[in-house]
A and B are shown apart, each in its own frame.
Chain A
């Protein structure tokens, strides 16, 4: 049997992911995470009388803390397994990637274990975040030069 034939054969019995259901869960969970973030933002603005610009980082830190705690209790990965991008895309997903990597490294010690592993998955987000902001910022600067 050649490789193409095999590919066709395998495709014919391949299990199909339920995309509608997955998208539904992702939408729902992502929306709930967003709503919780908004709740904290409103809370800090209206109860603690912090202006919106200062309240936003406080809200982000709160969400990150919550995600880290949920990861530590082994809840966030279960959430992620059915919510997919819904829990993966928000800042909480980034917090989860760092906490989970740090937890894996724990048995190898603080410096070479936790310290070296904490950015194992999150590092790529930071790298490409900086690279893309540099590129986009450069383009914006170049455009503003001509306009």
Chain B
């Protein structure tokens, strides 16, 4: 194995991003980075009978755009890796009925985009495969009804709530050279800080992002200012503040730090602390930041998608929420 694991990180040499595509919901399209998405929908149903079917359609659209951009047909892809937030990763599995190639369904809640990239990158790095397609999706209405209350239920949400982003992200990784590559990955471990409030994800997930960040810097012997930007997945305003305090205490000084949940929406939009969900980090990283890398604003960025691996039944049983963060860094070639 040419590039062995150091701690919990790998440095990669030949994993490139061939193309990316994003499809986003109405609210995301109206946000400050709405112009960067390939496709913005104007209703929650997309003309389908249910929200679940709409989510599947969003994945389909993102995949088609991505394949068109790369000029690749489905048969040339060795493996699909997919994830979403629904029980039994519904959207991924039901979408995959349309695929002709092998599929892995994975789940790390909102950190799924990180896990997908890591899994794909390792397979590509070891030259087991040549082209892997990763997709993630989430739909606000599906997530609300599964994790919280019915959509039309008139309840006042706590101020610490976050808003699950609607959309799908498709990332085509390949071993062929392109402009941006996946430079390193750090596998996350489950961190539990005894948080039991399902309406306060930022506070629950911040320690996991911090743990992965610390491991990443230690494993690869880097300083935080090695990266032009360090971005966490969906800690949102409150979690971001906690993360900033923790970094300050440990003496980690990044050049620029931000959170995808804060970048995706405007503070005037009704999203409480900010965005969440696997598409939140996906849309911001591969919709917005990827474009910024291509434009030359950033040379190297570190992305720390964070996931709260909660289950509503266990939450009701007053069990604390396990959290995870799978990091990857992107670099201009």
List residues of chain A with CB under 8 Å of any chain B CB.
Answer: 1, 3, 6, 9-10, 12-17, 22, 71-72, 74, 76-85, 87-88, 93, 96-97, 99-101, 103-104, 107, 120-121
Contacts and interface: CB of A to CB of B under 8 A. Distances in A.
Contact of A77 (B154, B207, B241, B245): B154
B149 A121 contact: yes
A82 B245 contact: no
Contact of A88 (B150, B154, B158, B194): B154
Given A9-B242, A12-B245, A14-B238, A79 B154 contact: yes
22 contacts: A14-B203, A15-B160, A15-B237, A17-B158, A22-B156, A74-B152, A76-B152, A77-B153, A80-B153, A80-B155, A82-B156, A85-B156, A88-B155, A93-B154, A96-B152, A96-B153, A96-B154, A99-B152, A103-B150, A104-B151, A121-B149, A121-B153
B70 interface: no
B245 A9 contact: yes
A81 B156 CA distance: 4
Contacts of B273: 15
Interface residues of B, number: 30
Given A10-B242, A14-B238, A15-B273, A101 B150 contact: yes
Contacts of B333: none
A71 B149 CA distance: 14
A89 B154 CA distance: 11
Contacts of A13: 238, 241-242, 245
Given A1-B207, A9-B242, A104-B145, A87 B158 contact: no
Interface in B149-179: 149-160
A100 B151 contact: yes
B294 interface: no
A3 B154 contact: no
Contacts, number: 90
| A-B pairs with lowest CB-CB distance, top 8 | A80-B154, A84-B156, A100-B152, A100-B150, A107-B50, A13-B241, A104-B150, A100-B153
B246 interface: yes
Contacts of B193: 3, 6
Contacts of A104: 145, 150-152
A13 B207 CA distance: 15
A96 B154 CA distance: 7
Residue among B149, B153, B238 with the highest chain A CB neighbour number at 10 A:
B153
A79 B155 CA distance: 9
B49 interface: yes
B151 A88 contact: no
Given A17-B159, A80-B155, A81-B156, A9 B150 contact: no
Contacts of A83: 154, 156
Given A9-B242, A103-B151, A107-B52, 15 more contacts: A6-B207, A16-B159, A17-B159, A74-B152, A77-B151, A77-B153, A77-B155, A81-B154, A81-B156, A83-B156, A87-B154, A97-B153, A104-B152, A120-B150, A121-B150
A13 B236 CA distance: 13
A84 to B, nearest CB: 4
Contacts of B156: 22, 80-85, 88
A14 B240 CA distance: 11
A105 B173 CA distance: 39
Contacts of B32: none
Contacts of A82: 156
Contacts of B50: 107
Nearest to A79: B154
B270 interface: yes
Residue among A12, A81, A87, A104 with the highest chain B CB neighbour number at 10 A:
A104
Interface in B245-288: 245-246, 270, 273
Contacts of B152: 71-72, 74, 76-77, 96, 99-100, 103-104
Residue among B150, B154, B157 with the highest chain A CB neighbour number at 10 A:
B154
Given A97-B153, A101-B150, A3 B194 contact: yes
B42 to A, nearest CB: 16
Residue among A72, A83, A100, A121 with the highest chain B CB neighbour number at 10 A:
A100
